[in-house]
Amino acid sequence: MTAVELTAGASPRYRLRDLLPVAARRPAGLALTALCGTLAQLGMLATLATGAWLVGGAITGTAGPMLGPAAWALAAGVLVTALARWGQSYFGHDLAFALIEQLQLGLFDGLERAAPGYVLGRRTGDLAGTATGDAEMLESFFAHLLGDYVGAALVPLAALAGLALIHPLLALVLAPFLPLVASIPFWLARRAGQQGEALRAELGGLNAEVVEGIQGLRELAIFGHGRRTLDRLMRRTADLHGHQLRYGVRAGLEAAAIDILLALAVLAVLATGASLVAQGVLPMALFPPALVLAGTALAPITQVTETGRQLGALQAATRRVLTILRQAPQVEDRGQERPGEGLAPEVRFEGVGFGYDDERGPVLRGFDAAIAAGETVALVGRSGAGKSTCASLLMRFWDPAAGRITLGGHDLRELPLAELRRRVAIVPQDVHLFDLPVLDNIRLGRPEATEEEVRQAARLAQADGFIRALPQGYGTCCGERGARLSGGQRQRIAIARAFLQNAPVLVMDEAVSNLDTESEQALQAAVRDLRRGRTTLVIAHRLSTIRSADRILMLEGGRIAETGRHEELLRGGGPYARLVAAAVDGVLEV
């Protein structure tokens, strides 16, 4: 199985009902929201019906004896309705914001578990849009729709019961309209879902374009590409406008159909009630309350359908959020073994096979290698030979499709991920620094480290000098992705992290590619001190780095073509010697 097969495939068709387990995490808030919403709607129904009864009594002259009690009932109804509305808003939004916070934290956790494979083919702006815009869009579901559904089920039944008490025929006339009005959004659900999916996807794409444009402003300015990028954004915005327009037209037609049905329902009850009054079957005093009950019976349903007009976008946001939340982790963290500190840091690759996708085929084929405890091994080969893949597999960013990798005789899959990554430190080629003080960026290597331990790690990484020269020294923020530091400075910060972590196994993936020769020479002495007694896997193009290794593994076609020390391989005249012969200024051409 390739790495992509683990994460690819059609997205599951999640529905709004799939969010109910999320809402069930706060049952008290959910119950209070539904209760307050229902009380508010019932209070409004009772208040309006009482007022209408007073109007009818006033017309017929029969309201006098009941005027005082009815006035008190009206006041109580208004008060209960107002308090219940406040409660629904308070509890509903408290529920919504708490659940959205959980969703957003869950999204980050889901991305972390599925990284790096899941995020490789996805754009940062689109993922950020899911974590913010899509998650926040679900606020209306949690704060309004869930509570309104309960009221939409109970209030129409109460109104029908009131109509039946006034006259059963009125209830029979109104009853068929209730399911008709409620069903309109669901008749259009498929079309709404398609439009919502397209709308959210287009919005995610626009977010991604904007983020990439901001991140690449320097390159756009250098190559004079700003106008073209702006034109592309304008076309993307126009496409988004088209999707929004189509979505709005569909929602507008839906609203018009519901309004027509509402008018027909009230007219039907009006005509029937007028006929009953004319026949002397229905007292005139009960005619106004009947009309009010007919109108308010449909109000909770229309309130739900108002939110339901956004059903397509809500469904799409739900799918995008839950797809990440329920994304299978890239590797299963089921290891239970916790070896003692005396574990020998010996690394073995045993018949390892691995590929990222079927199109490119396997990167490693039956790869076998053993790195003894305390040995420094350099992986060398042309681009695509599998050097960085070996480092990624050792960190368990992926698992091999065949064979196994062991640390101290333990299969990596038998070790908890936290335990493995505590024992293996990596200095990547592409260093990510957060917009935090330098001190905190280094401290990622060991969060509980003291400030003096951080400074010592920086000194070992030859970084203390330039850090102290920064405006606020170790308190200087690095900028987004370390933008305030040079490439070489960022790499030395990453090396300081590895020093601070003090792991028995060290992986250096092009760790000195952005250093000048003088800085590299100064750093090599520190690295030699660091790797004493530690197992070190070095991936490098610089001959100065490769020469210092105890052994070199030359990779070709996903296998080891030859192995030995620098001088031995040169004398052999094999692939490594040819690669070195083509080197330019001491850098291998790969």
Q: How far is CA 335 from CA 350, 403, 417, in A?
A: 19, 17, 7
**Confidence (pTM):** 0.64
Q: How far is CA 550 from CA 524, 532, 537, in A?
A: 14, 12, 10
Nearest to residue 558, comparing CAs of 405, 398, 351? 351
Distance separating alpha carbons of residues 11 and 146, to the nearest angstrom: 25
The crossing angle, in degrees rounded to 10, of helices 226-278 and 287-297 is 150
> How many other β-carbons are positioned within 10 Å of the β-carbon of residue 113?
17
Please report the pLDDT score of residue 349 as a whole number. 92
105: left (phi > 0), else alpha (psi -120 to 50), else beta?
alpha
Q: In residues, how long is the chain?
A: 590
Please report the pLDDT score of residue 447 as a whole number. 87
**Please, are residues 588 and 580 in contact by the beta-carbon 8 Å criterion?**
yes
Please report the pLDDT score of residue 318 as a whole number. 74
DSSP string, 85-142: HHHHHHHHHHHHHHHHHHHHHHHHHHHHHHTTHHHHTS-HHHHHHIIIIIHHHTHHII
Say what the alpha-carbon torsion angle 137, 139, 140, 142 is, to the nearest 10 degrees: 140
DSSP string, 299-338: HHHHHHHHHHTTHHHHHHHHHHHHHHHTPPPSS-------
Name the residue ranges covered by the structural domains of the chain: 20-190+261-326, 347-585
In the numeric block, which tokens belong to residue 15? Answer: 């529905």
**Please, are residues 476 and 470 in contact by the beta-carbon 8 Å criterion?**
yes
Please report the pLDDT score of residue 332 as a whole number. 78
Please state which architecture CATH assigns to domain 347-585. Answer: 3-Layer(aba) Sandwich (3.40)
Distance separating alpha carbons of residues 67 and 74, to the nearest angstrom: 10
Please report the pLDDT score of residue 225 as a whole number. 59
Side-by-side strand order, sheet with 402-407: 364-371, 347-354, 402-407, 410-411
Q: Distance from first CA to last CA of the chain, Å, rounded?
A: 28
Mean pLDDT by runs of 10 across the 590 residues of the chain is 38 63 78 84 80 71 68 82 86 81 74 64 63 68 68 79 88 85 68 66 69 61 62 75 73 77 86 87 84 80 64 70 72 72 82 79 85 88 82 86 88 85 83 86 87 89 86 86 80 86 84 62 66 80 80 86 88 84 60
Please report the pLDDT score of residue 583 as a whole number. 64
Domains 20-190+261-326 and 347-585 share a fold: no
Which residues lie across from 552 on neighbouring strands? 378, 564
Burial code of 228-253, b = ≥16 C-beta within 10 A, e = fewer? ebeeeeeebeeebeebeeebeebbee
Burial code of 356-370, b = ≥16 C-beta within 10 A, e = fewer? beeeeebbbbebebe
Helical ranges in 374-429 per DSSP H? 387-394, 417-423
Topology of the domain covering 20-190+261-326: ABC transporter transmembrane region fold (1.20.1560)
Place of tokens 């990484």: 461
In the numeric block, which tokens belong to residue 106? Answer: 């869950």
